[in-house]
Amino acid sequence: MAYQPVRQPRLADVITERIEAMILEGSLKPGQRLPPERELAEQFGVSRPSLREAIQKLAARGLLISRQGGGTFISEALTSGYSDPILEMLSRHGEFHLDLLEFRDAMEGISAYYAALRSTPTDRALLIKRFEELDACFQGKDPVREAKADAAFHLAIAEGAHNVLLLHTIRGIFHLLERSIVDNLAHLFEKKNSRDTLMAQHRALLDAILEGRAEDARDRAHEHMVYVEEGLLELARAETRAQRALRRAQTTPAPRRDAAS
């Protein structure tokens, strides 16, 4: 019986697969600049011609962008899970916020669960850093900065879950997430003590992940999203009541005066 000879993979193909894996796992992020060619070749332990061939393949696949005199970058197109026209369209519809909250409830609950089980010391250090940045932003009471820090904290949880589909799904809506959180926080902060409540929920979620309590982490993520959704619904109902009362006041005829008085 004749056996087919075992073919060794070409070095450029091995490098290509390695860089693709680093992009998928989040080690290389969209917009990030690759190290200089000499340095990268040394890190991989390969020749510069083989590395150059791999970079050309990745560029042809749309994963890398080379800029004349500026280096090679991971394509930022990898983050464009939703186009700007869709963002604008969704922002004009009131049900958009609740749809995104329901989606976040599902995705972030799973992310928290797996982050509690799988996060490494490096992941947990980053998560603590993102929480501290969020806490500092909440002290400053700037909804835009708070929203960016809030989204970054939740993205760090997704990174710690070590599931590439979860990570890239959440990363793909990152800008959508930031915009939604800005609107959510602007409304929620009208409630007394809402900042303290939100930070307490984030702290409970962080602690559950750091302590490896997977079920509890998923529950804390769900509790957080329910609080946000119920808060928005409550404020929407209050606004509807206020508008209704205003319309009544504007349409109620003035009391008639008695001609004899």
Distance CA(56)–CA(204), nearest Å, equals: 46
Question: Average model confidence (pLDDT) for the chain?
Answer: 82
Strand partners, 73: 33, 65
CA dist., res. 19 & res. 11, Å (int): 12
The shares of helix, strand and coil residues in the chain, as percent rounded to the nearest 5, are: 75, 5, 25
CA distance 135 to 202: 9
The per-residue pLDDT for 242 is 60
pLDDT less than 70: residues of the chain: 1-8, 79-97, 186, 235-248, 250-261
The reported pLDDT for the residue numbered 261 is: 45
- How crowded is residue 187: how many other Cβ atoms within 10 Å of its Cβ? 18
